[in-house]
Chain A
Amino acid sequence: AQSVTQLGSHVSVSEGALVLLRCNYSSSVPPYLFWYVQYPNQGLQLLLKYTSAATLVKGINGFEAEFKKSETSFHLTKPSAHMSDAAEYFCAVTSSGNTPLVFGKGTRLSVIA
């Protein structure tokens, strides 16, 4: 079985500061990993995904994530937070190309002016 743990249900950063959202996964097979963002009253939008190519994955809006197999982690970072980054962020894992995703419980990011 697969699982995802997102450390911190709520993270608050100042505008311009580094954003770090943590995600650890558990999987008995090589995983595919995703980060999605959900703005209020909207569906989920893909930020980036890891599919066993480069371990450092760059996504939209300046976000990136690094796959670390030894740490079973896929943390999401952005060098400088913007007010528009305030949203809920979900990490997800799956075992193969076309199967349901297993999601973490999400981390709410607040950006303080």
Chain B
Amino acid sequence: GAGVSQSPSNKVTEKGKDVELRCDPISGHTALYWYRQRLGQGLEFLIYFQGNSAPDKSGLPSDRFSAERTGESVSTLTIQRTQQEDSAVYLCASSFHAGTNADTQYFGPGTRLTVL
């Protein structure tokens, strides 16, 4: 079946511009996560959506970052007034919350963002 998809795969932008990154989760997955992977670093959690609950935004590094999710479908991560330190691979993951044990998060291929 189809996995998590992300678009674009690569994005090059100029400092100060806004960018939008898109994530299509696996159909039926109620939870959606955004992570950031900077060069030589592990993954940093950004934001988490679970069903109709208010999103967990505790990982967003600044108010330039925001994300939306339409129901249990597509999510968009927006970075306003991009800075060079925003350059990273942005990874999206989704999972089905079965209510017990740890749900497996399935990751998309990521969007590589380069801010010049």
Q: Are B103 and A104 in contact (CB under 8 A)?
A: no
The CA-CA distance from A96 to B102 in the complex, in Å, is 6
Contacts of B50 in A (CB 8 A): 98
Report the Cα distance A9→B4, complex, angstroms.
28
A103 at the interface (CB under 8 A from B): yes
B41 contacts across to A, CB distance below 8 A: 105-106
| Residue from A43, A46, A49, A94 with most neighbouring chain B CB atoms (10 Å) | A43
Interface size range on B against A: 20 to 34
Query: Is B25 interfacial (CB-CB < 8 Å)?
Result: no
What total of chain A residues lie within 8 Å of the partner, measured CB to CB?
28
> Could you say which residues of chain B place their CB within 8 Å of the CB of A49?
102, 104
CB distance from B60 to the nearest CB of A (A): 12
B59 smallest CB distance to A (angstroms): 7
Across the interface, name the chain A residue whose C-beta is closest to B31.
A98
- What residues on A are CB-neighbors of B35 within 8 Å? 100-101, 103
A94, B102: Cβ atoms under 8 Å? yes
Please measure, in the bound complex, the distance between the C-alpha atom of A106 and the C-alpha atom of B40, giving whole angstroms: 8
Could you tell me the distance in whole angstroms from the C-beta of A28 to the nearest C-beta in chain B? 17
In the complex, what's the smallest C-beta–C-beta distance from B51 to chain A, in angstroms?
10
Using CB atoms and an 8 Å cutoff, list the residues of chain A in contact with chain B.
Answer: 4, 9, 32, 34, 36, 41-46, 49, 51-52, 90, 92, 94, 96-106
